[in-house]
């Protein structure tokens, strides 16, 4: 009989937890449904999506961080990292509707700021570039998508509605409505228009690439003269 009561209590606690997450993380659940074609139901997202679990733990840890309970905040964040594979520093500032798809290997640093409706894939690092103190992590605008394995490093800003390609390494500011790919990241699209790297010397973030392009142009001209 006692066992039955314990089971019933555990079921009630579980149901309460699901209901609270469904209420308080409604926007995040809707974003996950909209952005992951594989998502079948809200219940599946609540129970099985590590990205959402990491976010629930982050909200709790962030509240404790703001109360200056740093150790407890970090403890929650590390326990969450153990189970989800996603490390969100409790000091980070995260807007509404963040969706971390797959999640494993995502690292979000202490002074990172993330806007609303951002999508991060597995292996994304929003990190620092060195041992500097103060604001040393990126600021990510609204509606930004950061592809799998991409690293966005330093106190830089990624403008609203931008796309960072998978495995890109971004170390300079990205204007709004841009697409950045490669290492180091270079802008390939802006305001919906493709940027031709051989003609454009303003948006190229990669000096080596720029030198190669210049050399290619000179070789082409010399060949034409012959
Ligand atoms: C960058 C991205 C957003 C595509 O943007 P897009 O505007 O549609 O770009 P296109 O596909 O037209 O490609 C533009 C150019 O960038 C190149 N490119 C695209 N993605 C790239 C990447 N991740 N790294 C390097 N180059 C890339 C293309 O080859 C193309 O080069 P070209 O102009 O010389 O032909 C997309 O390719 C990407 O990387 N998305 C991340 C998705 C992801 O991580 N999914 C994980 C699911 S589990």
CA dihedral 164, 130, 115, 177 (to 10 degrees): -30
Radius of gyration of the chain (CA): 22
pLDDT digits (tens, 9 = 90+) for 186-208: 999 998 888 766 555 555 556 67
The model's pLDDT over 12-33, given as tens digits with 9 standing for 90+, comes to: 988 888 888 888 899 999 999 9
For position 56, what pLDDT does the model report? 96
Mean of the pLDDT values across residues 134-162? 97
Give me ligand 1 centre to Cα 79, in Å.
34
Cα dihedral value 70, 20, 104, 77, nearest 10 = 10
Non-local (6+) Cβ contacts of 189 within 8 A are 163, 178, 179, 195
Distance CA 196, CA 115 (A): 29
Q: Please, which pLDDT band fits residue 130 given cuts at 50, 70 and 90?
A: confident
User: Above 60 in pLDDT, residue 57?
Assistant: yes
Kindly report the average pLDDT of the chain as a whole number.
92
Query: Which residue is associated with the tokens 């394995």?
Result: 149
What's the 186 CA to ligand 1 centre distance in angstroms?
11
Measured from the CB, is residue 165 less than 6 Å from ligand 1?
yes
Tell the residue nearest (CA) to atom 41 of ligand 1: 147
**Does 115 sit in the ligand 1 pocket, CB within 6 Å?**
no
Which one has a higher pLDDT value, 44 or 201?
Answer: 44
Burial of residue 28 (number of CB atoms within 10 Å: 0-12, 13-18, 19+): buried
In the chain the first and final C-alpha atoms are separated, in Å, by 96
Is 125's pLDDT higher than 90? yes
pTM: 0.86
What separation in Å is there between the alpha carbon of 169 and the centre of ligand 1? 13
CB 204 within 8 A of CB 211: no
Give the pLDDT band of residue 147 (cuts 50, 70, 90). very high
Query: What residues does 180 pair with on adjacent strands?
Result: 164, 187
List, as one string, the DSSP characters of 149-206. Answer: T-EEESS-EE-TT-EE-TT-EE-S-B-TTEEEETTTTEEEEETTEE--TTT--SS---
Residue from 145, 158, 164, 165 to probe ligand 1 pocket by mutation (most atoms less than 8 Å from CB): 165
What pLDDT was estimated at residue 2?
86
Average pLDDT over residues 150-174: 97
């Amino acid at each position: 009989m006692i066992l039955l009561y314990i089971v019933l209590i555990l079921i009630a606690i579980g149901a309460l937890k699901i209901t609270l997450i469904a209420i308080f993380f409604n926007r995040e659940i809707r974003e996950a449904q909209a952005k992951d074609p594989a998502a079948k139901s809200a219940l599946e997202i609540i129970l099985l999506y590590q990205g959402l679990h990491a976010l629930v733990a982050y909200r709790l840890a962030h509240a404790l961080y703001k109360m200056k309970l740093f150790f407890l905040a970090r403890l929650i964040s590390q326990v969450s990292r153990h189970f989800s594979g996603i490390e969100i520093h409790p000091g980070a500032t995260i807007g509404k509707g963040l969706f971390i798809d797959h999640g494993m290997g995502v690292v979000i640093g202490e002074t990172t700021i993330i806007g609303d409706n951002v999508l991060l894939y597995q292996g994304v690092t929003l990190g620092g570039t060195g041992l500097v103190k103060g604001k040393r992590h990126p600021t990510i605008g609204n509606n930004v998508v950061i592809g799998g394995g991409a690293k966005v490093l330093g106190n830089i800003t990624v403008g609203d509605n931008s796309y960072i390609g998978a495995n890109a390494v971004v170390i300079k500011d990205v204007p709004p409505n841009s697409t950045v790919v490669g290492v180091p990241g270079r802008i390939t699209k802006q305001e919906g228009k493709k940027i031709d790297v051989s003609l454009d010397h303003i948006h190229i973030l990669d000096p080596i690439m720029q030198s190669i392009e210049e050399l290619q142009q000179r070789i082409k001209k010399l060949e034409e003269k012959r």
